Amino acid sequence: MATQQYKAWSVVGMSTLSFTVCFMIWMMFAVIGIPIKASLGLNETQFGILIAMPVLTGSLIRLPLGMWTDMFGGRIVFFVLMLSTVIPIYLISRCTEYWQFLVTGLFVGVAGGAFTVGIAYCARWFPKSRQGLAMGIFGAGNTGAAVTKLVAPLIMVGYGWSRVPQVYAILMLVTAILFWTFTYSDASHKAGKTVTVRDQLAILKDPKVWKYSQYYSIVFGGYVALALWMTKYYITEYGFDIKTAALMAAAFSIPGGLLRAVGGYFSDKFGAHTITWWVLWVSLTCLFFLSYPQTDVSIITVKGIKTFHLGLNAAIFTIIMFTMGIAFAIGKASVFKYISDDYPHNLGVVSGVVGLAGGMGGFLMPIIFGALVDLTGVRSSAFMLMFGIVWVSLVWMYWTEVRPVKISRHHQRQVANQATTL
């Protein structure tokens, strides 16, 4: 008979594999959307809507999935979720009109809700002191975005874009069967039907939930948005072909998913607040440089007019994106460490709310990216938008977490000084 420890790690291993596959499929339009855009003659805004449509469903469904996970257990919810996407994934290969891609994208997007189910399912198998690590390992399934950038272009070049969803549909079906075979259930992890929907939704009144949602909207929402956007950005900004562009974009996606386990370990050791604070500062610094557009500056000198070019070349751009991918990976884990520390009995529903906020960030930002490019003609405007979002998060964190600690320490020093004087 399997031990509890064996069951716990088996659950984490299979859940991570399953989430990787789900994320591959969730990010599929980041690659196949490029030839679809060309064949349908879409503008940047329409392309943004196309690649973001699966993210919309995957975001909106996270709250009910979190509630169902608390009530019925993660294993059955995860399994049914994966099975429900197999047919819609295959149908993408049969689409010919823009609206058909949008509709099937909505159904395929359910795969993105796997995160909320899996994060609560895995965490409950471990003590509080190790939940950060467990959730970080599971969250490494975000590397599915990078896997899609490596695998999908190869399939497209050899067999055409329509073969990608056909292969992915088979992959999802096989993964669902393996997941059910090698995972376990524990009745003590379920809240049961005695917990009403109203009781679960009462958590929405807690302002901390909304603050954590804001943090997650950038570290996860920004990650999803850029994972969808970067392949096309490399093509239009630096003139790469789709295989090279997808490979370069993977330099952001790989650390953005794989190092999440490291973020979980650091969060267990140093605390969610400290890690998140530094993650936001590193992200802000990266976005400052990424925001600067390609610029030619002409200066009138005594010897005539001299022109200088300012802007990031592809190598420097990729290094900065790689750095930000690391920061986002660690930040995704640290935000959920906040949640596991503060809401151990409502992990599913709070994960659903925060995950919904992060997913909506991933849905809205690519659309806004496209609209900003159409309006301004400046491709780096996407990073300008994200710079503003990170700045809001830092200000919010300072006033609600950093400043109260400073005031408390100052008050403690005053009390200590008074006691010494007396």
Residues 309-322 have pLDDT tens digits of 888 899 999 999 99
Q: Which CATH number is 12's domain given?
A: 1.20.1250.20
What's residue 189's pLDDT?
62
Q: What single letter denotes the amino acid at residue 38?
A: A
Please state, in angstroms and rounded to a whole number, the distance separating the CA atoms of residues 152 and 249: 13
Q: What is the C-alpha to C-alpha distance for residues 94 and 101, in angstroms, rounded to an integer? A: 9
Rounded to whole angstroms, how far apart are CA atoms 293 and 297? 12
On the question of pLDDT at 72 being above 80, the answer is yes
Which pLDDT does position 417 carry in this prediction?
64
What is the pLDDT averaged over residues 275-296? 92
AA identity, residue 282: V
Average confidence (pLDDT) over 136-153: 85
Mean pLDDT of 165-178: 96
Q: For residue 60, what pLDDT band results from cuts at 50, 70 and 90? A: confident
Which residue has better confidence, 205 or 294? 294
**Helices (H), ranges, 291-402:** 314-342, 347-376, 381-397
Query: For the residues 249-273, what does the mean pLDDT come to?
Result: 82
Query: How many structural domains compose the chain?
Result: 1
Instruction: Answer whether 290's CB lies under 8 Å from 380's CB.
Output: yes
DSSP state of 293: P
Domain limits for position 411: 4-191+198-421
How far is 31 from 153, CA to CA, in rounded Å? 7
* Greater model confidence, 3 or 180: 180
Q: Hey, what are 41's tokens?
A: 């003659």
pLDDT of 266 over the 90 cut:
no
State the pLDDT at residue 193. 52
Cα dihedral 169, 173, 178, 180 sign: positive
Alpha carbon 140 to its chain's center = 10
Judged against a pLDDT cut of 60, whether residue 245 lies above it is answered with yes
At position 385, the amino acid (one-letter code) is L
Digit-coded pLDDT (tens) for 319-363: 999 999 999 989 988 888 888 788 877 777 787 788 888 888 888
The predicted structure's pLDDT at residue 342: 80
Q: How far is CA 133 from CA 126, 260, 266, 364, in A?
A: 9, 9, 8, 30
At 243, is the pLDDT very low, low, confident or very high (cuts 50, 70, 90)? confident
Q: Which residue has the higher pLDDT, 124 or 200?
A: 124
For residue 265, CA distances in Å to 131, 133, 136, 236, 325 come to 9, 5, 8, 38, 17
The percentage of the chain sitting over the pLDDT mark of 90, rounded to a whole number, equals 35
- Which is higher by pLDDT, 92 or 65? 92
Which residues is 325 bridged to in the sheet? none
When pLDDT is cut at 50, 70 and 90, the band that residue 124 belongs to is confident
Structure tokens at 393: 């998060």
3-state secondary structure 102-169: HHHHHHHHHHHHHHHHHHHHHHCCCCHHHHHHHHHHHHHHHHHHHHHHHHHHHHHHHHCCCHHHHHHH
What's the whole-number average pLDDT of the chain?
86
Cβ neighbours of residue 169 under 8 Å, at least 6 residues apart?
A: 86, 87, 89, 90
pLDDT tens digits for range 366-400: 889 989 988 998 989 999 999 999 999 899 888 88
Cα–Cα distance, 333 to 122 (Å, whole number): 13
By the 8 A CB rule, do 291 and 271 touch?
Answer: no
What percent of the chain is modeled with pLDDT above 70? 91
Q: What is the DSSP letter of 246?
A: H
Interval 15-44: pLDDT, tens: 999 999 998 998 899 889 999 999 999 988
* Nearest CA-CA partner of 16 in 227, 178, 216, 252: 178
Residue-level pLDDT at 350: 82
pLDDT band at 416 (very low <50, low <70, confident <90, very high): low
Least confident of 179-193, 278-292, 404-418: 404-418
119 and 321 in contact (C-beta within 8 Å)? no
CA separation for the pair 373, 395 (Å, rounded): 27
Identify the residue whose tokens are 């979002």: 389
- Is pLDDT at 288 greater than 70 in this prediction? yes
For the cut 70, the answer to whether the pLDDT of residue 409 exceeds it is no
Q: Is 60 exceeded by the pLDDT of residue 228?
A: yes
For 290, the token pair is: 């990424």
Residue type, 76: I
Whole-number pLDDT of residue 263: 83
For the cut 90, the answer to whether the pLDDT of residue 90 exceeds it is yes
Answer whether 69's CB lies under 8 Å from 11's CB.
Answer: no
